[in-house]
Structure 1
Amino acid sequence: MDLNSLCEVAKKAALAAGEIIGSHQGKNHDVKSKQGGENLASQVVTEIDLKAEQAILEILNPTLSEHDLGLLAEETASECTSRFEKKAFWCIDPLDGTLCFSRDEDGYSTSIGLVGQDGIPLVAAVYNPRSQTLYHAIKDQGAYKNGEVFNVPEWSDELTLLYDQSFLKHPTFDEEMNFLENAAKKLGLNGVKMFHLGGAVMNGITTIEMAPAVYYKLPKKADGGGSIWDFAASSLIQREAGGFNSDFFRKPLNLNRFDTTFMNHDGIIYCSDQRVLEVIPKIQDL
């Protein structure tokens, strides 16, 4: 596979979807619900999600036969089984952070990843229509933001905790915050600053831009915790930029799990680099 040419295709598709999303920012939308996940953010879908996915597929579809690739797209996930049969598959979230988009809040994006059958991301493109920012990465070739090298900046003096709204209602919220505060001070930082951005894709990437920063989801029994398409592209961009990501047990993210697309079984961790990993509580700490 020519990963460089496939990356260009992914960027083109992300920009095409972003153009559709951008042209509908701040407008009223027909908001519907879908099955999946425990919270509203994971259940909201608009007509823009569907239009953006269609625009992406029009660009990516020729590569399926040309390169013998599979496909996993959020809005048609139940119909996508080729990811188990092909050497690699496109993993698409046409509009991550739909709830933010419907409320005209920051934090939504288009995410396109090419993932090997072994679950390792190979190519990534993420577009933020609100800021008109395009991130991309190719495995072992670094990460880029609007064509410029994208790396972890110099640390600020506070730890930034990127979080989902559900985090505030978690039964171990107080214990987690106490652990984070104490661990941050041990790193010589002046405490923890909480920052809510929106979708999982932008939260993961923003751990680089707001270093030192963390974003994590605890394992849980109920379906949720994000899905493969939330992390397929962002995990590659974040890691190629110098960040660290894994499941909650510090093992590589399983981005081609056979029995589900949800990530709740093992949780996820994103941090701006491995030094920050020690501030994230382990299960036994809670």
Structure 2
Amino acid sequence: MTALKSLGENRYEGLEEIVAIARSVGWGAADILQSYYRGDRSTDDLEVENKKDGPVTAADVAVNEYILYNLQASLNSPDFGYLSEETYKSQTPAVEQPWVWIVDPLDGTRDFIDRTGEFAIHIALTHQGRPILAVVALPEAGKLYYATKGGGTYMETREGQPKPVRVSERNALEELTLVVSRTHRDERFNQLVQHLPFKNKHYVGSVGCKIATIIDHQADVYISLSGKSAPKDWDMAAPELILTEAGGQFTHADGTPPKYNQGDVNQWGCLIGSNGHCHDTLCAQASEILAQLDAPA
């Protein structure tokens, strides 16, 4: 295959060939997840193991093995490193290669177990800590989103041709809809949201599914606020790129972009993804509210 090269200024040679591989792997991973999800299996059959960071099922492990094996076999290059939810604890703090695949085989394990259908597969390729290629597959929706840096975001189904997608044009803060989890909301997050002027809330599981609702115009804003724990690199890397290449923005509340594969896989602080039109205002308001919430009594 063509070697992947950085040409500077977010330009990369050989990326289109690699995104075709990632899309194929994404669909194959979706098939495996659906074989567990739609098969005649009870929750007990999924071999749920409750770990510190959340539940893990046999489906997580099977899909993780499939993705890593097929990426490595297809690319066959020592230039790529791999960071995945199911294997990172056995790795060094940061993968040394400049090109690193960051994989979440099952984003939304709790939704998978609870049968909401709102789970996703994340596959991202990062270069020096920033995503340049992303695939987010939604098996139950029958959709796969993919993006390359500077190349836009596309959505495809199993039957149809890929089509470019863009976020909504809604640009009045009080008209925006916030997408939030049904669970995973602590009191600090609730207080932050109560002080922001959103018109509606849309409840969806999994980060990948949440970001897809922004691309699909069902919502406009997603907020992640770490508490005792934080989302991980694999939760954010692929959804970030499909959102930003669709015209949205995804930053910390101070406006800086996330960095990945930095040793600590946790994404601490407040992260905001939006359709972009009120992003700076949202970041400023969120920062001000958090400063007040965190001020000594």
Higher relative CO (Cα under 8 Å, sequence separation at least 6) belongs to 1
Output the CA distance in 2 between the equivalents of 1:112 and 1:98. 16
> Given the superposition, is the C-alpha separation of residues 227 and 85 from structure 1 closer, same or farther in structure 2, using an over 3 Å criterion?
same
Verify the 8 A CA contact 1:217 1:267 in the aligned structure 2.
Answer: yes
Residue of structure 2 in register with 1:149 after alignment: 164
Verify the 8 A CA contact 2:104 2:235 in the aligned structure 1.
Answer: yes
Partner residue of 1:21 out of 18, 21, 33: 33
Q: Which amino acid aligns with 2:179?
A: L
Q: Does 1:248 pair with 2:258?
A: no
Partner residue of 1:160 out of 157, 177, 181: 177
Q: Which amino acid aligns with 1:232?
A: A
Secondary structure of the residue aligned to 2:192 is helix
Secondary structure of the residue aligned to 1:33 is strand
Output the CA distance in 1 between the equivalents of 2:205 and 2:97. 32
Residue of structure 1 in register with 2:213 after alignment: 206
Verify the 8 A CA contact 1:155 1:211 in the aligned structure 2.
Answer: no
Verify the 8 A CA contact 1:159 1:211 in the aligned structure 2.
Answer: no
Secondary structure of the residue aligned to 1:86 is coil
Could you tell which deviates more after superposition, 59-68 or 87-96? 59-68
Output the CA distance in 1 between the equivalents of 2:105 and 2:165. 23
- What are the ranges of 5 or more consecutive residues in structure 1 without an aligned counterpart? 37-42, 185-190
Secondary structure of the residue aligned to 1:95 is strand
Partner residue of 2:118 out of 92, 100, 107: 107
Residue of structure 2 in register with 1:130 after alignment: 140
Secondary structure of the residue aligned to 1:279 is helix
> Given the superposition, is the C-alpha separation of residues 167 and 66 from structure 1 closer, same or farther in structure 2, using an over 3 Å criterion?
closer
Output the CA distance in 1 between the equivalents of 2:275 and 2:32. 31
Give the superposition deviation at 1:22.
1.3
Verify the 8 A CA contact 2:122 2:238 in the aligned structure 1.
Answer: yes
Question: Among the aligned pairs, what percent are the same residue?
Answer: 26
Aligned residue-pair number:
265
Give the superposition deviation at 1:59.
0.9
Give the superposition deviation at 1:139.
0.5
Give the superposition deviation at 1:167.
5.5
Secondary structure of the residue aligned to 2:273 is strand
Partner residue of 2:276 out of 273, 276, 280: 273
Larger helix proportion of the pair: 1
Could you tell which deviates more after superposition, 225-234 or 211-220? 211-220
Residue of structure 2 in register with 1:187 after alignment: none
Residues 121-164 of structure 1: CA deviation (Å, up to 9, x unaligned): 01111110001101000100000011100111343983211113
Output the CA distance in 1 between the equivalents of 2:216 and 2:292. 28
Secondary structure of the residue aligned to 1:269 is strand
- Alignment RMSD (CA, Å): 2.2
Q: Does 1:5 pair with 2:5?
A: no
Q: Which amino acid aligns with 2:181?
A: D
Partner residue of 1:227 out of 232, 253, 256: 232
Output the CA distance in 2 between the equivalents of 1:54 and 1:219. 29
Residue of structure 1 in register with 2:201 after alignment: 194
Verify the 8 A CA contact 2:143 2:155 in the aligned structure 1.
Answer: yes
TM-score under structure 1 length normalisation: 0.85
Q: Which amino acid aligns with 2:139?
A: P
Residues 57-107 of structure 1: CA deviation (Å, up to 9, x unaligned): 221113564261000011111123395311211110001001101111032
> Given the superposition, is the C-alpha separation of residues 171 and 73 from structure 1 closer, same or farther in structure 2, using an over 3 Å criterion?
closer
Q: Does 1:55 pair with 2:55?
A: no
Give the superposition deviation at 1:285.
4.5
Residue of structure 1 in register with 2:9 after alignment: none
Verify the 8 A CA contact 1:207 1:271 in the aligned structure 2.
Answer: yes
Residue of structure 2 in register with 1:188 after alignment: none
Q: Which amino acid aligns with 2:203?
A: H
Partner residue of 1:46 out of 57, 60, 65: 57
Output the CA distance in 2 between the equivalents of 1:7 and 1:82. 27
Q: Which amino acid aligns with 2:107?
A: D
Q: Which amino acid aligns with 1:272?
A: N
Output the CA distance in 1 between the equivalents of 2:281 and 2:218. 14
Verify the 8 A CA contact 1:218 1:248 in the aligned structure 2.
Answer: no
Secondary structure of the residue aligned to 2:97 is coil
Secondary structure of the residue aligned to 1:62 is helix
Output the CA distance in 1 between the equivalents of 2:149 and 2:89. 28
